[in-house]
Amino acid sequence: MHAAASSASPKVSVIVRTFNEAKHIGRLLHDIFAQQISVPIEVIVVDSGSTDATLEIVSRYPTHVIQVSAEQFTFGLSLNRGIRAAKGEICVIVSAHCYPTDMDWLERLIAPFSRNPKIALVYGRQCGYVNTRYSEHQIFAKWFPEVSNDDCGLAFCNNANSAVRREVWTEVSFDESLPGLEDIAWGKAVMAKGYHIAYCAEACVHHIHEETAQQIYRRYYREAMAYKAIFRDHQFSFFSFLKFFVMNSVGDYYHALLDGKLLGNLIDIPLFRFLQFWATYRAHAYREPMSKEMKRRLYYPRRPQFLKESANQEGALHRPTFIDISRPISEGVAVWPGDSHVSITQAKTIPEHGVQVSNLSLCVHTATHMDAPAHFVSGGGLVHEVAIEQMIGDAYVIEYPGKGPIEPSFFQSLNLPSTVTRLLLKTTNSHHHPTDRAFDPAFVAISPASARWLAERHIKLVGIDGPSIQAYDDPDNTTHEILLHAGIVILEGLNLKEAAAGRYHLIALPLHILNVEGAPVRAVLTKEISH
């Protein structure tokens, strides 16, 4: 059974905490509602003053939104508000910049509650993403091992990926005064009442931190301030800072050497560890009560400046650069042999009618376009039935310099992260000018074996810069059929000449045409640049 907002009484409430998460929230909500789970769920979004498109994206999903003002916000308060509004017996808590690694995440996370009525909280495994700093990968590996435990015996837990028994929360709510680590404080309190903390390694999420040095420092400063409040006898001296900075940096260098990643992390490893432990030391040296101004700086460091700036200034803080990867549609543009040519006629002109109106006739598989499953699968989904989220999100441009067809050995040699779900193939096809009008049957495509490899990897979308994903002389359309049977959306006719290999955000919007198997697409890639 797929997860869905249900009219039946929900057994599980999923609480998502957001603040300016437009980059991630759509994918997380899509993955939540795609979960395989046997009980009704509801989704509650607790937003603490987002100023980007977060709430507009959330509005596309059947969720209940709770607003918390910046002046009121603490992590504990946002969780209490969400759980108070929840109807489920189990409340799952997940940060908006976490993605489940599979479709059974939710079912696995709540499973321990049925085994032991004394379990108050289950926290799941967390791992890094392709852009996670190496030192943080090491932290995740240490904090979140591969072995589950229904009674950890420790107050340690992490509610970025967790579930709590609501009945226990009615006895002990989250501490709203702490600047962080409210999960550990809660675990300590419920364990004192005889409850257990469980860890489920099989319920895993990718926890994505895309932080500047200043943001890393603030995160660990917040957590150290909270740790000092929870464990009042704990001390962290300047000697502690030096000891842990050196020990962890050396340890990271050792593991990076074994992993073959040392050269790329020579500077980043000591920088990350310095920020982590210097922030911890400075927080322990802070003796004054935490003022409202201090809390505002820790939670909302850019908010006042943001509100004072004009829209143009705001954009300069996080300005995306766009690469148009679409080929233009014009009369005479190359089409697949046998398809209709593009025809553009003037129905009205300004000299004669006072207005210009054009008529367009073309095959839906012209220039840059998408193939929906119905293109080769009887009864398959049509363009208007493909979820728009499949066409928008993280995508990887990979470059293939040889001749086709592209075989699985090429994909295997890339050692792609397991989280990659959208691939765009840049080949020698991109050497052609976007307005080339001669059809070249020798274009580079992928083999049927590669199509099977992509399907087994659960890829959501694959794009290529040639007129088709399959070779011109493919006699039985096997490549298309494998991909489309697997529900993989295909983009064809891309222009990736200006896109270097790497990770991007893809926006590929097909024309909203009903009851067709393909449609022209305007596709762009973005890479955000922080100033």
Beta strands (DSSP E) in 80-217 are 90-95, 98-100, 119-127, 161-165, 196-207
Q: Residue 433 pLDDT more than 50? A: yes
Residues of the chain with CATH 3.50.30.50: 343-530
% of the chain surpassing 90 pLDDT: 42
Q: Look at 214 and 434; give whichever has higher pLDDT.
A: 214
- C-alpha–C-alpha distance, residues 230 and 247, integer Å: 25
Q: Residue 300 pLDDT more than 50? A: no
Assign 156 to helix, strand or coil: coil
- C-alpha–C-alpha distance, residues 53 and 73, integer Å: 20
Q: Domain 12-207, what fold? A: Spore Coat Polysaccharide Biosynthesis Protein SpsA; Chain A (3.90.550)
Hey, CA dihedral for 96, 98, 99, 100, is it positive or negative? negative
Q: Residue 317 pLDDT more than 50? A: no
Assign 238 to helix, strand or coil: helix
Q: Quickly state the pLDDT bin for 434 (edges 50, 70, 90).
A: low
pLDDT at 231: 63
Count Cα atoms within 13 angstroms, Cβ side, for 461.
26
Q: Domain 343-530, what fold? A: Glucose Oxidase; domain 1 (3.50.30)
Q: What are phi and psi of 121, to 5 degrees?
A: -145, 140
Question: Which range is least confidently modeled, 105-119, 232-246, 282-296?
Answer: 282-296
pLDDT at 128: 83
Q: Residue 170 pLDDT more than 80? A: yes
Residue found under tokens 């890094």: 128
Q: Residue 263 pLDDT more than 90? A: no
Q: Quickly state the pLDDT bin for 258 (edges 50, 70, 90).
A: confident
- The C-alpha R_g of the chain, in whole angstroms, comes to 26
Q: Residue 101 pLDDT more than 90? A: no
Q: Quickly state the pLDDT bin for 435 (edges 50, 70, 90).
A: low
Q: Quickly state the pLDDT bin for 438 (edges 50, 70, 90).
A: confident
Active site residue 432: no
Q: Look at 277 and 117; give whichever has higher pLDDT.
A: 117
**Position 154, amino acid:** L
Partners of 47 in beta bridges: 18, 67
Length of the chain as a residue count: 531
pLDDT at 295: 38
pLDDT at 358: 94
Span 218-238, average pLDDT: 70
Contact between residue 63 and residue 28 where contact means Cβ atoms under 8 Å apart:
no
pLDDT at 329: 92
Can you give 498-517 as a three-state secondary structure string? CCCCEEEEEEEEECCCCCCC
pLDDT at 293: 40
Task: Tell me how far CA of residue 339 lies from CA of 231, 444, 520, in angstroms.
Answer: 72, 20, 14
Pairing relationship of beta strands 98-100 and 196-207 according to DSSP bridges: antiparallel
Q: Quickly state the pLDDT bin for 8 (edges 50, 70, 90).
A: low
Q: Which of 375, 431, 480, 531 is catalytic?
A: 375
Residues of the chain with CATH 3.90.550.10: 12-207
Q: Look at 8 and 221; give whichever has higher pLDDT.
A: 221
pLDDT digits (tens, 9 = 90+) for 366-404: 999 999 999 999 888 999 999 888 999 999 999 888 887
Contact between residue 161 and residue 200 where contact means Cβ atoms under 8 Å apart:
no
Q: Residue 242 pLDDT more than 50? A: yes
Q: Residue 115 pLDDT more than 80? A: yes
Contact between residue 257 and residue 286 where contact means Cβ atoms under 8 Å apart:
no
pLDDT digits (tens, 9 = 90+) for 19-50: 888 888 888 998 898 888 888 899 999 998 88
Q: Residue 4 pLDDT more than 60? A: no
pLDDT digits (tens, 9 = 90+) for 440-453: 888 999 999 999 99
Q: Quickly state the pLDDT bin for 102 (edges 50, 70, 90).
A: confident
- Please name the helix (run of DSSP H) or strand (run of DSSP E) that holds residue 345, with its range, or none: strand 343-348
Span 169-185, average pLDDT: 86
pLDDT at 233: 65
Pairing relationship of beta strands 318-324 and 518-530 according to DSSP bridges: antiparallel
Residues in CB range of 476: below 8 A, 6 or more apart: none
Q: Quickly state the pLDDT bin for 294 (edges 50, 70, 90).
A: very low
DSSP 339: S
Span 422-439, average pLDDT: 81
Q: Look at 255 and 165; give whichever has higher pLDDT.
A: 165
Partners of 205 in beta bridges: 100, 126
Q: Quickly state the pLDDT bin for 229 (edges 50, 70, 90).
A: low
Span 250-262, average pLDDT: 85
Q: Look at 145 and 236; give whichever has higher pLDDT.
A: 145
Q: Look at 423 and 146; give whichever has higher pLDDT.
A: 423
Q: Look at 505 and 278; give whichever has higher pLDDT.
A: 505
Hey, CA dihedral for 301, 307, 308, 309, is it positive or negative? positive
Q: Quickly state the pLDDT bin for 284 (edges 50, 70, 90).
A: low
